[in-house]
Amino acid sequence: MTTAHVPAVPTTAPATARAVSTAAERSVWPASTTEPRPGELAVGGVALTEIADRFGTPVYVLDEHEVRDRCRTYRDAFPDADVLYAAKAFLCRAMIHWIDEEGLGLDVCSAGELELAVTAGFPPERIVLHGNAKSPHDLATALRLGVGRIVIDSPSEIARLAAAVGPGGRQRVMVRVVPGVAAGGHEKIRTGTDDQKFGLSIADGYAQHAIARILDQPQLVLTGLHCHLGSQITEVKPYLSAVRRMVGLMSRLHRQHGLVLPELDLGGGHGIAYRPGEPALDLTALARRVRAELTSACASAGLPVPRLIVEPGRAVVGPAGVAVYHVLAVKRTGGRTFVAVDGGMSDNPRPALYGVRYAPRLVGRPGSATLAPATVVGRHCEAGDVVAADVPLPDDVRPGDLLAVPVAGAYHLSMASAYNMVGRPPVTAVRDGRARLLVRRESLDDLRGRDVGL
C-alpha cells in the first residue's frame, strides 16, 4: 500500500524531539504529507493550520490522491477480481465519484447509502446490498434502483425478497455464509464465527438449507457465496482458511444440486496501521496467496475457479484522512496530564467502542524538545471520552495548540453523532495545494430543525 513521508508522534516517552524520517512513522500519514517548516504539517500541499483557520475545528481532512492511489493499488493487486468499496467506512458524493472513476464497485448496507450512490450517478449494477436485518424499505429501494446483487443474510429474507421481486422479475443474490474462522482486531469486530449476528452457518447446516430454498425460487438467481471474517485483520492465513471452507461448501452444493457458482466474495476487513510500528495486511501477499489457494482448492474439488470479489473499506480511505482539533485545556492531576480538545467521541467513537489507539501530533509549532506522556480527551460528559491514551506529546502543549490525528478517514464521520448537541465536523478534501469542502459542518440550526415538539 502507499506509504507516507512524515511521522506521527513516537510511542516512547519521555524523549527528545521527534525525528521525521523513519518508515514506521511515515506509514501512518498520507503519502503527500510534508513538513514545510519545523512543527508544521501539510497534506496534499495544504497546511493543516490553514485548514483549521479556514474551516474551523474539529475538521476532517481527506487526501484525494491517497484515496485514488489506494483504489489503484487494489485494482493492480486483484486484476481478475471485482473490488467493491465498503461504503460504511465513509461515504459522500465526492467519494462516490472517486470510487466510480477508479473503476471500483460499491458495497452498501442501507437504502440511504444506496440512494446517495445512485443519485450521485454510480451505476446500480455495480452495487451490492448487504445487511443482517434489511428493512422492507431497503429491499424495495434495491429492487427499484436495480442493484446488482443482494446478499441474503437470513432465511426470512428469501421469501420476502422473492415476493417483492414478483413472478415476472429476476434478482441476482448471494448468500452470506459463516465459515467458522475467527479473525479481527477485537471481539466486537469479528464476524466469521457462529456466535454473532451475521450470516448462515455451515456447521449447523443453515447455509445449505437456505441455498436449497433459494434454488426453489425462480425469481432469485444465486450467483455465489459471500463471507466476511471481521475487521482489522493483519494476517493472510484466516483468508486462506475461509477459501478452503467456502470451496468445500461449493463442492457439496455441486454434488447435491449440480450447482456451479460463478462468484466468491471474501469480504474485506483488511487491517491498517493506526500507530507507527503496528502491522498492516500485506495486500500483495493476500492477493497472491488467495489466488493460489482458490485455484488449488477448486482443482481438488473439480470445480471451475469462481470470480473473486473483495470489499475493502478502511484500507482505502482510513489512511487518507486526518482529524484536526484545537486544544481547549491542559490539566495535570493525579500524576497524569490530560489534554482536552474540542471534539471527541461525537466525531470518533471508536476508542470508546473497541479500544482503538491513535498517535496524535502537535502541529503548527515545533513544541518543546521534551516529550511526556499525556492522555488526549474529548469535550463530552463521559469518562470514556478518550481520543488517545498515554501518548507522547511535547511537555509545553497548551490551550490554543492544534493536534492532528492521522488515519482518521474511516469510521469517523460515518459513526459520528450529535452527542451533547455538538454538530458533526466538516470534511475537506485536499489535492495539489487546494482544499475544498465536501461535507459542511452540522450546525445548531440543523439540530433544531429536527425538533418539532412545540
Dihedral (C-alpha) 92, 93, 94, 98: value to the nearest 10 degrees? 100
> What is the pLDDT at residue 139?
96
> What is the pLDDT at residue 13?
33
pLDDT in tens, the chain (454 residues): 333 333 333 333 333 333 334 566 778 999 999 999 999 999 999 999 999 999 999 999 999 999 999 999 999 999 999 999 999 999 999 999 999 999 999 999 999 999 999 999 999 999 999 998 899 999 999 999 999 999 999 999 999 999 999 998 999 999 999 987 765 554 544 444 455 666 798 888 888 999 999 999 999 999 999 999 988 999 999 999 999 999 999 999 999 999 999 999 999 999 999 999 999 999 999 999 999 999 999 999 999 999 999 999 999 999 999 999 999 999 999 889 999 999 999 999 999 888 889 999 999 999 999 999 999 999 999 989 999 999 999 999 999 999 999 999 999 999 999 999 999 999 999 999 999 999 999 999 999 999 998 7
- Which has the closest alpha carbon to 149: 84, 246, 244? 84
> What is the pLDDT at residue 192?
41
Cα angle value 226/242/313 (rounded, 5°): 55
> What is the pLDDT at residue 334?
87
Domains of the chain: 23-63+318-449 (2.40.37.10), 78-312 (3.20.20.10)
> What is the pLDDT at residue 18?
38
62 bridge partner residues: 321, 429
List CB contacts of 451: < 8 A, sequence separation 6 or more.
Answer: none
User: How many angstroms separate the most distant Cα atoms in the chain?
Assistant: 73
Q: Specify the residue for cell string 495486511.
A: 281
> What is the pLDDT at residue 190?
43
- Determine if residue 348 is left, alpha or beta; phi over 0 gives left, psi from -120 to 50 gives alpha, anything else beta: beta
Phi, psi dihedrals of residue 214, rounded to the nearest 5° = -65, -40
> What is the pLDDT at residue 453?
86
Task: Report the C-alpha gap between 110 and 434 in whole angstroms.
Answer: 33
> What is the pLDDT at residue 11?
34
CA-based torsion, 128, 132, 138, 144: positive or negative: positive
- Residues with catalytic roles: 381
CB atoms within 10 A of CB 72: 14
- Which has the closest alpha carbon to 269: 227, 313, 237, 316? 313
> CB of 245 within 8 A of CB of 159?
no
